[in-house]
Amino acid sequence: MLGKNTGSLSGKRIILGISAGIAAYKCAELTRRLIEQGAKVRVVMTDSAKEFISPLTMQALSGHPVSEHLFDPAAEASMGHIELAKWADLVLIAPATADILARITAGMGNDLLTTLCLATQAPIAVAPAMNQQMYQAVATQENLATLTRRGYLIWGPAYGEQACGDIGPGRMLEASGLLSCVETHFSKKDLTEISFLLTAGPTQEAIDPVRYLTNKSSGRMGYAIAQAAAQRGAKVTLISGPVALETPENVFRIDVESAEEMHAAVQTHAKDHEIFIACAAVADFKAADIATQKVKKKESLNEITLTLIKNPDIVASVASMTKNRPFTVGFAAETQHLEAHAQKKRIQKNLDLICANDVSRNDQGFNSHQNALHLYWDTGNKPLPLNDKTELAKQLINEIITLYKKAK
């Protein structure tokens, strides 16, 4: 766990405004995650928000009393609403219900939270959270459009199943998604002139209409790298196999299933990017013949032979480009002889950099939130020790940019 004086948000002062929505429960996790990254968090709650999460919970997590009332003599004696408004580097309203959005748009100041929005000079972000019909209502969309014109940051919403049972847009972003938005907001934007193309996740190679060959890749490492690059202002295109992950903020995502589809997408886009990172766990082989109907189990048959043929080598095809070739980074997921296998792959495929990781360990790699990498290039190598994939991705981007600039 990161200390309070370290992390991507070290010293940043954030007011978390909680309004009355069921998604308020996510603010407990969000507060914890913000503080882990070094932020100082003050919580402001509307009266109705206390029906969904208790001020005591938020006080315990933030380490400070929750501000609840516009007229609080004790607060006015120390940090009143004007002082609180001046204190903030960012005001984040989450969940932002249809009601609070309407009141902010109208310029009302009839409680502490809306008054803060009028009094602060800090950027204000809202994380919409409401029923899909309420979100799509003309009034709500016009309010969001007005707030956007005024410079408000609109983070979300996500699409999915809602507490009422409806399915559609209106879910508040998860704590991890909002943390990413906050980190992106405060990140130095030093990569605006560089574009990244990444692959992430597994591929699925069909056997018949219901069965396929795949692997254990979750896509977390590739998505973390895409997020780390985007947070620093880079243009990022992410070609993703099937994963259960949200698209990082400011990342253009292309969904594919098979290695052939991923290869075609990479061939289309590689020439338009300066850096290519092949993080996907691409299937080396596919079925020679894909059955058009489900292969039925026969009681008399105890075994079946499946003929496999090679898939295209995506990273090698990019590294061999003779025109507009991007700086090419590969990954080597190994279970033994890490350095020998990684170096052989780097040389054979003509890669500028290879990132090797030991997937035989249970605490890192596939389906883990942590990973460790050892980087190898033609003139050196460097280990990146076990760390959360989000933090590891930031370190990796630093190393890639250093080598990329030297190679130019």
| 395: number of Cβ within 10 Å | 16
Instruction: For residue 167, give the nearest of 175, 177, 157, 176 by alpha carbon.
Output: 157
Pairing outcome for strands 167-171 and 158-161: antiparallel
Tell me if residue 355 is catalytic.
no
The three-class DSSP label of residue 103 is helix
CA distances from 373 to 197, 227, 279 (A): 20, 18, 12
CA 354/CA 342 separation, integer angstroms: 7
Burial of 168 (0-12, 13-18, 19+ CB in 10 A): middle
Instruction: For residue 26, give the nearest of 125, 85, 105, 96 by alpha carbon.
Output: 96
- Alpha helices, DSSP H, located in 125-171: 132-136, 138-149
Largest CA distance in the chain: 85
What is the DSSP secondary structure assignment for residue 295, as one 8-state letter? P
DSSP assignment of 19-82? -SSGGGGHHHHHHHHHHHTT-EEEEEE-TGGGGTS-HHHHHHHHSSPPB--SS-HHHHHSS-HH
Answer positive or negative: Cα dihedral of 33, 36, 39, 40.
Answer: positive
Q: Which of 164, 181, 279, 355 is catalytic?
A: 164
What phi, psi does 212 have (nearest 5°)? -155, 165
Count helices and strands in the chain by DSSP H and E runs: 14, 19
Task: Please compute, for residue 279, the number of CA atoms within 13 A of its CA located in the half-sphere on the CB side.
Answer: 30
Instruction: For residue 34, give the nearest of 60, 54, 16, 21 by alpha carbon.
Output: 16
CA 249/CA 79 separation, integer angstroms: 34
366 Rama sector, left if φ>0, alpha if ψ -120 to 50, beta otherwise: beta
Written as six digits, the tokens of 389 are 């994939």
Q: What is the set of active-site residues?
A: 164
